[in-house]
């Protein structure tokens, strides 16, 4: 179907042609007195008049068609506004640069604009990194904000907006049940309907760093190659500004704790998780040993996302005390030009464990007071803990997140948490004979 402007041009051309023909006829000189000349002129005039009448008929037909288009155009626009825009799967001809969509989970925050603006500002390629915004809640203003981006994002809508069946004691947690339902539907769309091989998942209250896309692009081959990894995260749970080395923003770690808050997964992991996806509290469910199955995630020294969403189902839990102090990386690191093979399990453990347990040990009181005998020597130190209570006491005293999920500390690997304290690298670590997490620790 031609656009309205196309019909207008066509109609104007016909109208002009008709008027030129009339002008031609009216301006012709009177015919000669000879009968042959008169007959010839009459035939020519009759032919021109016939052509002009045909042109007028065609013009009227086109004008009628244009009126129909105008009549139905508004109806079609209203109908299309109610339908989700279906993003088409994109395949990259170069297998070394696969398409990696970003799935943005949205609900009723019109401030999703801040999230989308940052993603679009730093996105290096619309083809390589298509943006899909999945909206729950049916919030009109949020939908209007998303729609304002036009073809720059694909807008899909979670169709089931009703309450989720939950036990009576969980009635106050209805929001968490809705979130889990939305995650399941949205990830199903990405991996089942659109058939992408991998996806980056963010929520509508996250802002991303300048090298957010570079980081995930570089980490994807590692995730594909190392079966002991199951995700790559942009988040450091202990990423407060004074607790990270911002000058070494290229540092990456393995962690046994699922961080979320901007994370990459493969379609094969969704194949595994979807059949048993929980009704609520999906992120803590991911942290259970039955789901983690001994696998780790990659996480950065300096976070590549920060959350600005104090409003939410958790009612600002942790935000004022902690989350708003997370440092967002502001220096572009060319990760795709770096060798990340050191993050593969065997090499990482050989190097990392040697560094941790080769570091001199200090006591908590000495570390806090700055009195330990290693204070004038460069290099990291190790603070050892034994038992749940000792870990929580040390973490709280040093400003770390002290909660444990199925026995795993936030940002921890083999029980070890790496951070900066008063300018020095510190490893809060269990004894060298550590033999695994105790799920009863909480």
Q: What is the pLDDT of residues 164-196, one digit of tens each?
A: 989 988 988 999 999 999 999 999 999 999 999
The more confident residue out of 94 and 422 is 422
Token pair listed for 289: 């040993």
Question: Residue 378 domain-assigned?
Answer: yes
* 410: containing domain: 347-429
CATH code of the domain in which 293 resides: 3.90.550.10
Q: Do 212 and 300 reside in the same domain of the chain?
A: yes
Q: Do 249 and 262 reside in the same domain of the chain?
A: yes
CA–CA dist 409, 402 (Å, integer): 7
Active site includes 330?
no
At 377, the pLDDT band (50, 70, 90 cuts) reads confident
CA–CA dist 403, 266 (Å, integer): 28
Q: What is the mean pLDDT of the chain?
A: 84
At 43, the pLDDT band (50, 70, 90 cuts) reads low
**Choice among 108, 245, 267, 283 that is catalytic:** 283
Give SS3 for 409.
Answer: strand
State the average pLDDT over residues 131-146.
Answer: 97
Q: How many residues does the chain have?
A: 442
Token pair listed for 307: 């959350």
CA–CA dist 63, 324 (Å, integer): 61
Is-contact 266 198, C-beta < 8 A?
Answer: yes
State the total domains in the chain.
Answer: 3
Question: Residue 97 domain-assigned?
Answer: no
Token pair listed for 369: 């007071």
Q: Do 352 and 422 reside in the same domain of the chain?
A: yes
Q: Do 262 and 169 reside in the same domain of the chain?
A: yes
B/e letters for 53-73, b = 16+ CB within 10 Å, e = fewer, are: eebbeebeebeeebeeeeeee
Kindly tell me if the per-residue pLDDT of 80 is higher than 50. no
Kindly tell me if the per-residue pLDDT of 3 is higher than 60. no
Predicted pLDDT at 321 = 77
Is-contact 186 158, C-beta < 8 A?
Answer: yes
Token pair listed for 336: 């795709």
Q: Do 351 and 336 reside in the same domain of the chain?
A: no
**CB neighbourhood size of 339 (10 A):** 7
Give SS3 for 252.
Answer: strand
Predicted pLDDT at 324 = 87
Token pair listed for 101: 């969509």
88: closest CA among 194, 8, 215?
Answer: 194
Predicted pLDDT at 271 = 98
Q: Do 336 and 361 reside in the same domain of the chain?
A: no
Q: Do 129 and 75 reside in the same domain of the chain?
A: no
Predicted pLDDT at 373 = 62
Question: Residue 94 domain-assigned?
Answer: no
Q: Do 143 and 192 reside in the same domain of the chain?
A: yes
CATH code of the domain in which 394 resides: 3.10.180.20
Q: What is the pLDDT of residues 333-351, one digit of tens each?
A: 999 999 999 999 999 999 9
The more confident residue out of 202 and 68 is 202
Predicted pLDDT at 140 = 97
The more confident residue out of 365 and 25 is 365
CA–CA dist 92, 256 (Å, integer): 32
Kindly tell me if the per-residue pLDDT of 41 is higher than 90. no
Q: Do 266 and 387 reside in the same domain of the chain?
A: no
Q: Rg of the chain over CA atoms, in angstroms?
A: 33
Predicted pLDDT at 335 = 98
Q: Do 229 and 111 reside in the same domain of the chain?
A: yes
Q: Do 331 and 389 reside in the same domain of the chain?
A: no
Q: The pTM is what?
A: 0.78
Q: What is the pLDDT of residues 283-310, one digit of tens each?
A: 999 999 999 999 999 999 999 999 997 6
Q: Which of 343, 360, 380 is the last residue of a domain?
A: 343
Question: Residue 434 domain-assigned?
Answer: no
């Amino acid at each position: 179907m031609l656009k309205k402007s196309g019909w207008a041009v066509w109609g104007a051309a016909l109208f002009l042609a008709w008027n030129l023909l009339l002008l031609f006829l009216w301006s012709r000189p009177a015919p000669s007195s000879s009968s042959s000349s008169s007959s010839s002129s009459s035939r020519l005039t009759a032919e021109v008049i016939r052509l002009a009448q045909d042109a007028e008929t065609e013009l009227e037909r086109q004008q009628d068609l244009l009126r129909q288009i105008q009549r139905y155009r508004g109806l079609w626009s209203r109908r299309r506004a109610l339908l989700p825009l279906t993003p088409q799967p994109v395949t990259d001809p170069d297998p070394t640069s696969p398409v990696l969509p970003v799935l943005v989970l949205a609900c009723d925050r019109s401030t999703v604009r801040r999230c989308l603006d940052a993603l679009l500002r730093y996105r290096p390629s619309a083809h390589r990194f298509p943006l899909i915004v999945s909206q729950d809640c049916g919030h009109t203003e949020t939908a209007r904000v998303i729609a304002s981006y036009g073809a720059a994002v694909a807008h899909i809508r979670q169709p089931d907006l009703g309450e989720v069946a939950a036990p009576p004691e969980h009635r106050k947690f209805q929001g968490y049940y809705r979130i889990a339902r939305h995650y399941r539907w949205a990830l199903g769309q990405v991996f089942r309907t659109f058939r992408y091989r991998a996806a980056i998942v963010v929520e509508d209250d996250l802002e991303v760093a300048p090298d957010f896309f570079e980081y995930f692009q570089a980490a994807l081959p590692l995730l594909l190659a190392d079966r002991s990894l199951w995700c790559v995260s942009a988040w450091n749970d202990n990423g407060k500004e004074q607790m990270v080395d911002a000058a070494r923003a290229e540092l990456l770690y393995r962690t046994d704790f699922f961080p979320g808050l901007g994370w990459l997964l493969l379609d094969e992991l969704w194949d595994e998780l979807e059949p048993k996806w929980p009704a609520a509290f999906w992120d803590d469910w991911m942290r259970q040993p039955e789901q983690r199955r001994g696998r780790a995630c990659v996480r950065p020294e300096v976070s590549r996302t920060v959350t600005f969403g104090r409003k939410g189902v958790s009612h600002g839990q942790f935000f004022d005390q902690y989350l708003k102090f997370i440092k967002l990386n502001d220096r572009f690191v060319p990760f795709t030009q770096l060798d990340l093979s050191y993050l593969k399990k065997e090499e990482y453990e050989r190097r990392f464990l040697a560094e941790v347990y080769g570091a001199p040990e200090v006591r908590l009181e000495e570390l806090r007071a700055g009195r330990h005998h290693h204070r004038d020597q460069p290099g990291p130190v190790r603070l050892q803990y034994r038992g749940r209570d000792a870990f929580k006491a040390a973490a709280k005293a040093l400003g770390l997140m002290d909660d444990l999920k199925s026995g795993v500390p936030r940002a921890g690997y083999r029980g070890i948490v790496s951070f900066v304290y008063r300018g020095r690298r510190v490893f809060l670590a269990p004894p060298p004979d550590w033999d695994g997490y105790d799920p009863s620790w909480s």
